[in-house]
Every structure is written in structure tokens, then in C-alpha cells.
Chain A
Amino acid sequence: MSGDWLSTLPDTAHGLKVQRPAVSDIAMPAGYSEALPLVDPFEAYSFQSFRRTNADGSVTYALPTDARHDNSAGVIHGGLLMTFADSVLGYCAWSACPPNSLCVTVSQSSSFLRAGRVGDLIEVTPVVTRATRTMIFTRGEFLVAGEPIFQAASIWKVTGK
């Protein structure tokens, strides 16, 4: 099931060896062209996501889920959804972040519309709703087969490097 994308991922991030448990068994979803490098060690450790750029310039992200992602009730753990949200809303916020600055999460609101099931492919096209000199507001609606299961909105603080 391993694709060529696997060889493009870095082995280390910020001087730390990246742990990728059995990532080679995750296939690139249909319609996607790129595996996220996931330079954050916790993301590289806990999931693999993919992206494509759409004709209008927006970016859609996809997260394949499997048995490593469930909770004690047997459905997708809210923590995975919130972590994926922090990741993709972060990419979105960073795209609006001025040069020579960085942004950090100040607040995230997460709503769980229905349970995600093991095996679901979760897709999102996050947007920047407002950007000021010091703050960036982002949100995303997370879909399974076109139906929303989860939504998140976050506020990012722009800081100097």
C-alpha cells in the first residue's frame, strides 16, 4: 500500500527523530497529490495527512483514519480531530502571517456534530475569516463523504520570530 510519497517525508524534525508508527500502510487518498511533511513531531507521530490545491487557490486537506485513532467508545477520538484542526488551521493561519513573524494558537473552539467512524476519510478546506496586525481568525468544517462531522474555529496570535 506504500506509495512514493513516503520517501519524500523527513526523518528528523527540529533535531528530533520523527516517530511514524506504521505510516507505510497509509495510502494516498484518491484526488490528493501531496503528503504533508508534518514537521511538528506530535503530528508526525500520531497521523498522516494529505493535501491538494484547488482551481480557486484554496487548499483541501485529508486525514485517513484507522484503528489507531479511536477512543474507548470505539469512535474517532475527539483529540485526533482537534489535533488535525490545529494542524490545518495553522497552515491556513501561517499563510496569512506577515513575513518574519510566526503565529501561535491562542484559542480553539471545537464542536462535534456526530461521531467519526474508524476508516472515515476526513476532509476540510480551512479559511481565514479575518486577519489583523496581531491576530488571525480561522475556521474549518470537517466533512466525511460531504457531510459535516466536526467544526473548529481558532484565534492565532502573531508574534515576532
Chain B
Amino acid sequence: MTTPLETFPEGDTLTAIALDLPFDVIVWDDPVTLMTVVTRILMKVFAYPKQKAYRLMLAVHEEGRAVVWSGELNKAEAYCVRLHASGLLASVEPSS
């Protein structure tokens, strides 16, 4: 079977393919941020309904981190910037 990397051996194209892979926006738990604040920020940044934001907040709280969004790298980075600007610990990494 041919993998995408074998199909496009050129450096620039490889980069483009890599950028097309999904990336996760991760929110990390911390000891000072209130649960209500995390929920509100997720609603504000992603326009999630309260129930979804609350469920994701609980996942962050209980597991130490949670994937709150997945998709294109540039959008993931833009979301991460907004999360940082709202005061949440967040990062972007390739989807596993």
C-alpha cells in the first residue's frame, strides 16, 4: 500500500500534506482556574453550547487535559491564541 508520504516525496509537498493532517487543541488543567471560568471560555471561544463546554471542562478537570477541538492547523492555532488570550493553558499538537 502506498502511503501519502511515499506518493509526494518533495519537501514542500510533504509539509503541505503534514499541514493537512488534523491537529488537536488541548486545554490543560491548572490549580487556580475556576470550573465556571473554563466552561465560559470554551463557550465564548468555540461557541459551544453550555452542556458541551461543561462536559469538556469536566474532562480537563478529571483527566488533566482534554482535546477541545480538532481540525486544520491554522484554525487550531487561532483557537489556541484565543484560549491563551482568555487565560487558559492550551496547546496545539498533531492528532494521535
Q: Do A and B bind each other?
A: no
Binding site for B on A (CB under 8 A): none
